[in-house]
A and B are shown apart, each in its own frame.
Chain A
Amino acid sequence: MLTVDTEEPGPGSAVKTAGRTGRRFAPPGGWLPYLLITPAVLAIAGILGYALVRNLLISFQEFGRRQLISHTTEWSGLENYRRVLEDERFWASLVRTFVFMAANVVLIMAIGTLIGMLLYRLGKPMRLVLSIALVAAWAMPVIASTTVFRWLFDTQFGVANWAMRSLGFSGYEQHNWFGSGFSTLAIVTLLIVWASVPFVALNLYAGLTTISGEIYEAARMDGASGPRIFWSITAPIMRPFFLITTFLEIIWVFKAFTQIYALNAGGPSRESETLPVMAYIEGMGQNQYGTAAAISVLTLIILLVALSFYFRLILKQEKEPQS
């Protein structure tokens, strides 16, 4: 289950005892816990932390192909940021990223919730059939599903064009689905929603099975309608689930790279670039490492703001056992 409080068994009981007896357990010097976390801290700081710091430093440097080859460091202050913030492509990309993210997360949460509730109400055989289909979509490796979606929407031999023609729409002889940034991102959305809905649906279903059926019975006896039951019973009980899942999906969609890049490389003419893809293209494509770093720093700041709420949520849960 994906709720904040089910992580610990019981209402924090195990952790409470762990906290209390832990102090008695700790060796006199208290070095054991530090010894145990050191390798993990070193690994995270050494690889991830160093990359973050260096990324920040490079964002204040003039760093192009010349500096890459000559290994020189040229500080340029806020020049990269000025360049990025003056570039209208950055703003277009920023807006695009947010619209894209919002559309994806709303679709994933809405469809995932509906399918989760459907799973709950289905009979056993049909539930199994649908679950298997969901698990199959969930399990598809991203690079494989991205490739398959390119094939489904292929201009010449794609099944999508055939389906549109069969449904009687004209103009789908050799229709190029990747002909504009908008339709490219629409297909990315289809791909991401298709791949992400199972996570929400299956977890919601797992969560729903833990709610006592009697509550629903009572509500139904009182004459509550379906939507009323959802908003008055399911939603409040599953609130932690919805909160955390929404935030996870925001992060995952926000940093989606493989799907967009492998589908159409941010094209045509960089019209389907989101911020992570733009940072990559500026860096690897244009050899503008400084600008790319500035873009990724800005992206990280935006992401951090979006995440802060989620961090607070988890930290609050972390605090309880100690009080």
Chain B
Amino acid sequence: MTATDQAVAQAPAAGRPAVRANASARARRAKRLSRAGLNAVALMLTVVFLFPVYWMFSTSFKSNSQVLVKDPVFFFTPTFEHYTTATGVDLFWTYVRNSLVVTLAAVFLALLVALAASYAIARLNFRGRRGMVLVVMMAQMAPWEILIIVMYLNARDAQALNSLVTLTVIYFVMALPFTIWTLRGFIAAVPKELEEAALIDGCSRTQAFLRIIFPLLAPGLMATSLFGFIMAWNEYAMVLVLNKAPDMATLPLWLTQFQTNFGNDWGATMAASSLFTVPVLIVFVILQRRVTGGLSAGAVKG
């Protein structure tokens, strides 16, 4: 908008000032009108995109008599009964613990292994570097959902069904390629000269890495690990097939357990969905800028 004003302000110098001024007034009026139109469209889109999220939260606070109605209730006094039901199920805290353990372990492993690999790819020249890039790239596109059956057979043959370790290892490998991919970008962005200067000052390569590069990578590490976190936190298909034992299940399975063949407890389902979504939502809102800026070169969607 300011660019337009400047351009308009400069315009009279180009000759025929009166016509230009007239035209610019008309343009400004048209602009204000179209701005109102755009705002209206944006508002509509906001409602569309927020509605499912709003409906999840609002349902979770309704009493059963307000949930199970043909014509939805929009105004009501909130109740927490569904949250009590959702968190009151047997093994709820086991699910929470399993989810946290598996997710954190997978992310930590992925960071550790990816840090080494991405440093090599970004900084060192070696035979097979392009091959490695190709492997990472293909692995990043890996259709895990298509391999569920064979993952089940592998885990069964290794007597590793219903194991948190198996799940951790799988999530680690799922998160690894994009962690490498993304960290590589962050490492490449650190000026080479900083590292060289440290080496000249007598640092070893390890020291140079730990003292110079590592601190500069902090934002990259944080953003990458949070993406790994979200991926592992949300994973549903693998845990559905591999960890059928209730005490080895994670929160995504807990979330679906209020829907049964005998009927759905929608209030509890929505309360569980809300509880499951809130941590991710908070992380996303905080990190959104970094996510759209730095991470999008990798496949960052679940």
Contact = CB atoms under 8 A, between A and B. Distances in A.
9 contacts: A23-B125, A36-B117, A136-B53, A144-B276, A162-B72, A206-B293, A262-B256, A300-B146, A318-B130
A244 B48 CA distance: 27
Interface stretch (A79-87, A123-131, A178-186): A123-131
A49 to B, nearest CB: 9
A154 B70 CA distance: 10
A149 B51 CA distance: 11
Given A25-B124, A248-B299, A151 B269 contact: yes
Contacts of A28: none
B220 interface: no
A255 B143 contact: yes
Interface stretch (B75-83, B87-95, B186-194, B210-218): B186-194
A19 interface: yes
A52 to B, nearest CB: 7
Interface stretch (A88-96, A98-106, A194-202, A230-238): A194-202
A interface secondary structure, majority: helix
A246 interface: no
Interface in B234-293: 234, 236-237, 241, 252, 255-256, 259, 264, 266, 269-270, 273, 276-277, 280-281, 283-285, 288, 292-293
Contacts of B180: 40
A48 B280 contact: no
Nearest to B276: A144
A176 interface: no
Contacts of B69: 157
Contacts of B49: 130, 133-134, 136-137, 194, 197-198
B288 A135 contact: yes
Contact of A129 (B42, B68, B172, B264): B42
Contact of B255 (A143, A156, A307): A143
A167 interface: no
Given A40-B180, A143-B236, A199-B301, A123 B39 contact: yes
Listed residue (B53, B139, B149) with the most chain A CB atoms within 10 angstroms of its CB: B149
B256 A151 contact: no
Given A136-B53, A148-B55, A299-B146, A284 B241 contact: yes
B105 interface: no
A26 interface: yes
A118 interface: yes
A50 B157 CA distance: 13
Contact of A18 (B3, B122, B292): B122
Interface string A47-80: 1101110110010000000001000000000000
B281 A139 contact: yes
A41 B241 CA distance: 26
Contact of A284 (B152, B170, B196, B297): B152
Contact of B120 (A6, A17, A32, A299): A32
A148 B252 CA distance: 13
Nearest to A138: B284
Contacts of A142: 234, 236, 302
B225 to A, nearest CB: 16
B179 to A, nearest CB: 9
B268 to A, nearest CB: 11
Listed residue (A25, A33, A50) with the most chain B CB atoms within 10 angstroms of its CB: A33
A44 interface: yes
Contacts of B228: none
Contacts of B72: 157, 159, 162
A309 interface: no
Contacts of A256: 145
Interface string B55-82: 1100100000001111110000000000
Nearest to B294: A1
